[in-house]
Amino acid sequence: MKLATFDYKGETRIGVVTDKGIVDLAAAAPSLPRDMVALISSDKALAEARAASAKGDAIPLADVHLRAPVPFPGKVLAIGLNYRDHVEESGQPMPEHQVWFNKQHNCITGPYDDVALPAVSSLLDYEAEMCFVIGKRCKHVPKERAHEVIAGYFVGNDVSVRDWQLRTNTWQIGKSFDTHGPIGPWIVTPDEVGDPHALAIKCWVNGELRQNSNTKHLIFNCFDQIAHLSQAFTLDPGDVIFTGTSGGVGAAMKPMQFLKAGDVVRVEVEKLGYIENRVVPEKAETIIG
């Protein structure tokens, strides 16, 4: 099942994407939650959504605006240096432990929305990633049970402002600029994905293939990540996890190739779909209140 958050006729809704379009769950099953996190955290609600999608009327995808499938995640956690070729191109030692950082929730944006080129930096880079969302509150999850807490998988781009990222060891600010976490286009439930560690992942910039790898090359896979994180703190439904990027980022090219206004970045993960975002100059306006 593919679960999407979308705008239609001035309202934000959640629905199931089918071959015919998107079934609005508010219309097909009015008793279901209207919030994505509430939906994915309930097995009963997910079963009802699946049944409703088989009989509900579908809206053409061309008539809706897809938003981030989880528009307001609780935590946004990302692992660094998690593909061997990316570690090597970064000139870093192979990690003995998982390297984690936060992306602030304000970075999350839709699968086809614009990404801002910051007014304060021109060193904007892309990082193609597979992401997943937590569906069950959990703590101290053993690796062999980690699959039980994943509600589904989707595509992400860990957009990075390299000079701001590398000013500090935490990386947090350089990974958290507004719009620098496009995700989507929808959540694909685990039953449709199968093995999440056997998916092709690619990134194009203006049609040029820059990253071309497979999730089988993750150093610490999705289940390792959940087991590790949940030893430290509780994971909650709606928490979004970025699982790492492969080699081929712009900062590692010779010469370096950073994103410019007008560039279009497409990230595609096998079975999950693709996201595509245009880079536009940030409007550096003061906002108070």
- Are residue 107 and residue 154 in the same domain, yes or no? yes
The list of the chain residues with pLDDT below 70 reads none
- Are residue 222 and residue 115 in the same domain, yes or no? yes
Instruction: Report if residue 288 sits inside a domain.
Output: no
Cβ-Cβ contacts under 8 Å for 99 (sequence gap 6 or more): 79, 80, 81, 82
Length of the chain in terms of residues written: 289
- Are residue 105 and residue 178 in the same domain, yes or no? yes
120-173 pLDDT, tens digit each: 999 999 999 999 999 999 999 999 999 999 999 999 999 999 999 999 999 999
- Are residue 112 and residue 17 in the same domain, yes or no? no
- Are residue 269 and residue 136 in the same domain, yes or no? yes
Instruction: Report if residue 82 sits inside a domain.
Output: yes
Which of 66, 96, 119 terminates a domain? The answer is 66
Q: Is the pTM of this model over 0.85?
A: yes
Instruction: Report if residue 12 sits inside a domain.
Output: yes
Instruction: Report if residue 187 sits inside a domain.
Output: yes
Instruction: Report if residue 287 sits inside a domain.
Output: no
Instruction: Report if residue 29 sits inside a domain.
Output: yes
199-225 pLDDT, tens digit each: 999 999 999 999 999 999 999 999 999
Instruction: Report if residue 54 sits inside a domain.
Output: yes
Q: Is 45 exposed, middle or buried (0-12, 13-18, 19+ CB in 10 A)?
A: middle
Provide the pLDDT for residue 91: 87
- C-beta pairs of 83-87 under 8 Å, 24+ apart in sequence: 83/213, 83/217, 83/218, 83/219, 83/244, 83/245, 83/246, 83/247, 84/217, 84/219, 85/213, 85/217, 85/246, 85/247, 85/248, 86/244, 86/245, 86/246, 86/247, 86/248, 86/249, 86/252, 87/219
- Are residue 157 and residue 213 in the same domain, yes or no? yes
Which CATH number is 133's domain given?
Answer: 3.90.850.10
Instruction: Report if residue 71 sits inside a domain.
Output: no
Which of 66, 93, 119 terminates a domain? The answer is 66
Rg (CA), the chain: 18
- Are residue 17 and residue 54 in the same domain, yes or no? yes
Range of the domain at 230: 76-281
Provide the pLDDT for residue 58: 96
- Are residue 48 and residue 168 in the same domain, yes or no? no
- Are residue 50 and residue 110 in the same domain, yes or no? no
- Are residue 60 and residue 171 in the same domain, yes or no? no
- Are residue 45 and residue 111 in the same domain, yes or no? no
Domain count, the chain: 2
User: Cα separation of 269 and 248, whole Å?
Assistant: 16
